[in-house]
Structure 1
Amino acid sequence: MAASAPRIFVSHLAGVAVFDPNGDQVGRVRDLVAMLRVGRRPPRLLGLVVELSSRRRIFLPMTRVTGIESGQVISTGVMNVRRFEQRPTERLVLGEMLDRRVRLVETGEEVTVLDVSIHSLPARRDWEIDRVFVRKEPGKRGGLPWSDSAKRAGGAFRRHKGETLTVEWSAVTGFSLEETGQGAESLLATFEQLRPADLANVLHHLSAKRRAEVAAALDDDRLADVLEELPEDDQIEILGKLKEERAADVLEAMDPDDAADLLSELPEDDQERLLSLMQPGDAADMRRLMAYEERTAGGLMTTEPIVLRPDATVADALARVRNPDLSPALAAQVYVCRPPDETPTGKFLGTVHFQRLLRDPPFTLVGALLDEDPQALAPDTALPAVAGFFATYDMVAAPVVDDSGSLLGAVTVDDVLDHMLPEDWRESEFHMAGEAGGGA
């Protein structure tokens, strides 16, 4: 474990206050949510159960936690206030892991879990449970014996307090619950390391019933990534079997252009119900994208490129580029605009490519590094012209700018390829993958 990743025992987080970036308290930690993984790999910490002042308990993903220190949790301030509902693959750390009876792998002796520790992984925003604080049972193998003085006292037996120790997660076994039906936990654990496109392939070949069970068990971000890789019919089927509030959450987690494409395939009444359940900013992006023809630059673009003001520095730009949630194509360049710096922006000034950011000192202003001849697409540019633009200028991403010169979004090369290939290319790819695996 990296020295820069401090270990935190979860018992110290119970009841801790949660603050937004302005220092205002938004609630208190009531539990932590983890997902067990295959083999002896440490569980991934998904987020916190936070109780608001209204007594409602909500889920705060760890991706929205910016710090845990000095008896407090600092969040990004962006919270989904829908009531927390535990999913089949999730475990409540305080409620289900502590006081649990497990066994030491090396000796087989039974121990009681008193606490577990968590730590953040280096260079990522993921957290894991890494160690377990346990107590051995007195009077059993490896525990302390009965007190001799108690034996001599004529049967008034007294047991010594058991020995305690901290061990690695892999040193204990017994946290996994036996399945009482055909759940999705084992299947998800088996395929956890698959890329979204490969997991989409697995879902595509499952029965509709099993596909719905697995989709219900995936967390929102993972399901959003997988939906983006599925054929349209599978997307609509899975979305239709989710509760409407959760379907809105998953759409918010998808790339805006992919979510808009999926929404546009639904009946208008369903579109409006889902849009009304989304965060206002996300819903506004969806409506804006759905207003463009699908096979145009406006219909292909994402509304969430990296936008910076001209007085931002190279250091600021590189910090934004490091965001692990960005695709490589979106991280390849930043877009410099006058305020406001959210799409649609003020006047678009130009782009700065990632390679240029690596060549200049961190204090350099991005406004001084702009391409001299910025190239941009109009939102109504047709798909063949967009593809030609990418080929002509060797682009992996391109800005979309309106008549007033404001940046509307960016088109990435993967979206161009998705729409240039035959409509059934995903199903054909899945069919070939299934045949390749069937002969094993």
Structure 2
Amino acid sequence: MTSASRPMTALALVALLSACSDGLDFDLRGGIGGGVDTTDAALKATTARPEPDNRGIISYPSYQVAVAQRGDTLADVAARIGLPADELGRYNGIRPNDPLRRGEIIALPRRVAEPSPATGATTTGPIRPPSSVDVTTLASNAIDGAPDTSRRSADPQTGVEPVRHKVARGETAFTIARLYNVSPRALSEWNGLDRDFAIREGQYLLIPVAKPTEPRSSAPATTPPGSGSPTPVPPSAAAPLPAETPKPRGTADPTPKPEEPVADIGQNKAKAKGSMTMPVSGSIIREYNPGSNPGIDISASPGTPVSAAAAGSVISVSKKTNGSSFIIVRHPDNVNTVYLNVADISVNVGDSVSRGQQIARVAPGEVGFLHFEVRQGLDSADPMSYLR
């Protein structure tokens, strides 16, 4: 066991010993100091990972992954899906003869044949959101491909494409789960991690997808046993009292005191909208669109310094699957800013940054730009409402 894995083993042991307790804080967010307890967020319900086809392929519109079977090596997976073992190994940072855990996710460097009824899938093609599926086409395919009309064909798999995260140096399953607001247990189940939640640098992880929000029940709220019942509101208190006692007639308002200036040390920069500064100076070449673009693209020459839009702490320095580097900075009130298409990164995870501090430069490319996002938790927001 390496020294880096010992803290992870201890955390896993605590989780296992406490697994029978309701409300378990799997990543111990509520017990390591600080006034914020995010246990509920850590325990947020997630959907089950989609079932792969007979080859082990799970296909999404943007990428494909393979799921290892019991006793597989990387070479076994490569032979089953039709890719060179050396290429697959380099992409995932493992050797062809390395053994894999059952259910372990292997990212594919390029697409292979789509799942189809011939490979054990219900329909042909990648998993898509339910809203984009043509019900008539699916019904026709199910009827045409059914070998036995007396048996009901299975429903096709639909769902949201999950984020595919590449593990950076120093990250753990717990820090990644905290970053994406999911539980380490769900992260482990989706990616076939071992009992120690061990991960490796360069490994690709699928981030579990949250279950759709269920409508609120109209049933009256209940309280836990032993906590007592809420005190009913008496009829006399049905109407709220006035906000302040009325002043006697003829009394003049006192002259208001001028507000004393408060030193600006960056403690409330990200709390109010309109309190951030542009990370680079340039025109907006692609505007925010929740359906297609979760941020804005700002024109800037390659090498232009990129500054933090507000004071905060760096929580991620990593790369997307296409190799593009990005930085995530956390601010007060669960606001995060994302800086994509950057190079020459000058900050590390855990660093505190001030508004306007240089954190990177715009990456080289034919068209120089910075992609900038503002997120309230995991939900994207229009950056222009936060920028001055």
TM-score (norm 2): 0.29
Higher helix share: 1
TM-score (norm 1): 0.27
Higher strand share: 1
